[in-house]
Amino acid sequence: MKRVIIAGASSGIGRELACLYARAGNRTGITGRRIELLEELKTEFPLNILVKQHDITSENGIQKLDELVSELGGLDIIIISSGWGKQNPGLTPEIEKLTNDTNVRGYSDTAVWAYKYFAGQKSGHIACISSIAGIRGIDVCPSYSASKAYQINHLEALRRKAKKEKKNIIVTTIIPGFVDTVMAQGDFIFWKSPVEKAAKQIYNALEKRRKIVYITKRWRLIAWLLKILPGFLQERV
């Protein structure tokens, strides 16, 4: 039995992951702003799920996580699925700000809090759902793609830090392509994975303590192509 926090479990990938962890008998703390959705999920697994309303961008976000850890009786793994993004071709400042507040500041506060907690107990597992959008800058969603690149680099830095400090902290970077949730909207969507399939692949990768995982597996090839694509070709896509 593990003690798990899934940040951003009120819908989408986080919700599916919460079902998998709770069904497997783990003590599963779920967070998000939409408390009614979290409470609804708890009714399916009343013995294994604990609910905490938590806005990852708020000043007292860390305090809420501390409270949840106390209620869980400790923490073995945190999965950060909280995220926000929207196409923003008009560069609306509010969209840029909300994206950065959620995916950069909120993510970073949470990941750093988790690293310090796990460093104190000398073991633990941090995972975050970044995105294939973080591999290169995307013209229609500048902040979203940049924020996901931030997560990929920040997680790599934490992984290296743990190794250097000889801490038994696993850091998993999850890089999905398109997954069938409210977030996967737009014209250029393909290979959209059912959310149940994506969550199951993430769950299996976390059980294997993988460092980097593409969801679904074929997105590894797209990531590789994106990385080697020269800038002048990238600008034509």
Question: Annotated catalytic sites, by residue?
Answer: 144
Number of residues that bind ligand NAP (CB under 6 A): 30
By CB under 6 A, tell whether 216 contacts ligand NAP: no
Residue 89 backbone dihedrals phi, psi, to 5 degrees = -65, -25
Q: CA 152 to CA 146: how far, in whole Å? A: 10
**Alpha-carbon span 66 to 129, nearest angstrom:** 21
Alpha-carbon gap, residue 235 to 185, rounded angstroms: 22
> Scanning residues 146 to 175, which ones bind ligand NAP (CB under 6 A)?
none
Residue placing its CB nearer to ligand NAP in the complex, 40 or 139: 40
User: Is the Cβ of residue 81 or residue 173 nearer to ligand NAP in the bound state?
Assistant: 81
Query: Within a 10 A sphere around the Cβ of 85, how many other Cβ atoms?
Result: 19
Nearer to ligand NAP (CB atom), residue 34 or residue 122: 34
Tell me the C-alpha to C-alpha distance, in Å, between residue 20 and each of 13, 24, 112, 160, 214: 11, 6, 25, 29, 19
Beta carbon nearer to ligand NAP, 188 or 232: 188
Residues 53-112 within binding reach of ligand NAP (CB under 6 A):
54-57, 81-85, 102, 106
Stretch that binds ligand NAP, among 7-15, 66-74, 87-95, 222-230 (CB under 6 A): 7-15
Amino acid at 217: K
Helices and strands (H and E) in the chain: how many: 9, 7
**Residue 145 binding ligand NAP, by CB under 6 A:** no
Q: Judged by CB under 6 A, does residue 176 bind ligand NAP?
A: yes
Residues engaged in binding ligand NAP (CB under 6 A): 8-14, 32-34, 54-57, 81-85, 102, 106, 129, 131, 176, 178-179, 181-184
